[in-house]
Amino acid sequence: RIDAVDGDATAGVHAFLHVDAEGALAQAAASDERRSAGAPLHPLDGVPIAVKDVLTTQGLPTTCGSKILEGWIPPYDATVVRKIKAAGLPILGKTNMDEFAMGSSTEHSAYGPTRNPWDQTRIPGGSGGGSAAAVAAYEAPLAVGTDTGGSIRQPGAVTGTVGVKPTYGAVSRYGLVALANSLDQAGPVTRTVLDAALLQELIGGHDPLDSTSVDQPLAPLVDAARQGATGDLAGVRVGVITELSGEGWQPGVMARFQESVDLLVKAGAEVVEVSCPTFVHALATYYLILPAECSSNLAKFDAMRYGLRVVPETGKNGGLPSAEDVMRVTRDAGFGDEVKRRIILGTYALSSGYYDAYYGQAQKVRTLISRDFEAAFEEVDVLVSPTAPTTAFELGEKLDDPLAMYLNDLATIPANLAGVPGISVPAGLADEDGLPVGFQILAPALADDRCYRVGAALE
Ligand code: GLN
């Protein structure tokens, strides 16, 4: 299937940056052997999976969609990858993404864009457009993505797949090349809510190798998905977030959203409107905190330790190039425009004299956003909104307008700032363009099971 539809940077879905056919077939054969030997198997043993190229894979390239990591082969597996291998899932390869997970369309990949399988002139969402497109195009039944501001849920929404951002700390970040440490979280991309629950139960859990990993069990997720699938939501209180719908949102998105809300009511849920007034500041807050963290994280790409190294013939002042010259020229060649933009934003927000006004202020607003969630979850069990304000837009449409690109994550970013879990489930197709719409369900930290229960009730 990958051979038939994936194509390359110029045509086709282009969900994969690297396909490991040989490795995947060997792992599949080993799974067959375990099965015929009657060994006890994990329920996903033998089910192929695609992995976003931001998670390290021992012996397989990991580029993060960047030229600066071209040719780098990690010597170790991310914890998520280690767990996937241990359970016997063949890894098909590494999926395309916006460079260092910065973007909402996968067009910021240094290796060419991924195309939406529903309409290849359109974006598959981002930054994890590769993982979502691979699942939507039947190139992989399961995939793993990462979500710092929406990069699992928004691609899920625009490709008609299920995408989950677990509670911060519920899935190990060890081996996840950091975009923003306080926001990043790995999670499932699947076709059904039950598949996602099986996958999160597999990749989640405490990991001593990640100091922010939560050392506390989550309620069972597969059970929650099964319970939701009965279609009975009696007693569940659902809050529609006032600030995340209405004017400015695509009418076809709002129509499908309202239809899903009506389905929840039919299933017995009690639906009320809940206001979270600080959510309107989430985007501004995120675009101070995220660049601050990533400008510091990306400092390690110094032309000395990983991947690309460009050595100029002469240094800045004539003469032999210094280490600093090599660093400057390598970064200039290795980082794309969006990455450079965020490094500049981040170093500015952290610089002395501006720290309190920007980064410090953003941290305070972040606390207010968490408090809005806490207050809302005293009234309701889950909060809901459309996942993204529009369906998939045309490739190139927002590429030269960073702010328009950032606005795609309006509804997904609050959950990352507060560390709470969220799921995007398919809600049907918009009338005006026939493209998929996503329905987002958010729950309190560690109550991921609620996302699965309500999500499964909508399938
Ligand atoms: N689109 C958002 C950004 O560009 C989210 C990215 C993500 O979740 N990795 O930062």
Q: Is the peptide bond before 127 cis (omega within 30 degrees of 0)?
A: yes
Whether 66 is catalytic is no
The closest residue, in CA terms, to atom 10 on ligand 1 is 102
- Which residue(s) pair with 399 in the sheet? none
Measure 37 CA to ligand 1 centroid, in angstroms.
Answer: 44
Q: Residue 22: in which H helix or E strand, if any?
A: helix 21-36
Q: Which pLDDT score is estimated for 247? A: 76
CATH classification of the domain holding 253: 3.90.1300.10
Domain that holds residue 37: 2-276+376-457
* Predicted ipTM beyond 0.95: yes
Residue 346 lies in a domain: no
Taking 3-state DSSP, the helix, strand and coil percentages for the chain, each rounded to the nearest 5, stand at 40, 15, 45
Q: Check 66, 105, 109, 127 and give the catalytic one.
A: 127
Tell me the per-residue pLDDT of 57-93, one tens digit each, with 9 for 90 and over. Answer: 999 999 999 999 999 999 999 999 999 999 999 999 9
CA-based end-to-end distance of the chain:
26
Q: CB within 6 Å of ligand 1 — which residues?
A: 101-104, 127, 147-151, 179, 290, 409
Predicted pLDDT of residue 427: 98
Of these residues, 104, 105, 109, 151, which one is catalytic? 151
CA distance 206 to 297: 23
Strand order from edge to edge, sheet including 422-429:
16-19, 91-95, 49-52, 142-146, 186-190, 162-165, 422-429, 436-442, 382-386, 237-241, 270-274
Quote the ligand 1 centre to 416 CA distance (angstroms): 10
C-alpha closest to that of 77 among 91, 95, 59, 90: 59
Q: Is residue 291 part of a domain?
A: no
pLDDT at 360: 94
The predicted pLDDT at position 246 comes to 74
* 10-residue stretch averages of pLDDT, the chain, 459 residues long: 98 98 98 96 98 98 97 96 98 98 98 98 98 98 98 98 98 98 98 98 98 95 98 98 89 97 98 98 97 96 92 92 96 97 95 92 98 98 98 97 93 98 98 98 98 97
Domain-embedded: residue 343: no
How many structural domains compose the chain?
1
In a domain, 135, yes or no: yes
- Output the CA 152–ligand 1 centroid distance in Å: 9
Q: What is the pLDDT of residues 133-171, one digit of tens each?
A: 999 999 999 999 999 999 999 999 999 999 999 999 999
Residue 44 is predicted with a pLDDT of 98
pLDDT at 293: 97
The 3-state secondary structure of 87-113, one letter per residue: CCCCEEEEECCCHHHCCCCCCCCCCCC
Domain membership of residue 361 (yes or no) is no
Q: What is the pLDDT of residue 317?
A: 86
Residue to mutate (ligand 1; options 179, 184, 298, 410; most atoms within 8 A of CB)? 179
Known catalytic membership, residue 260 = no
Residue 242 lies in a domain: yes
- pLDDT attached to residue 245: 81
Residue 299, in any domain of the structure = no
- Return the SS3 of 37: coil
Three-class DSSP category at 83: helix
Does a structural domain hold residue 111? Answer: yes
Cα–Cα distance for residue pair 96/112, rounded to 1 Å: 9
64 Cα: distance to centroid of ligand 1 (angstroms)? 13
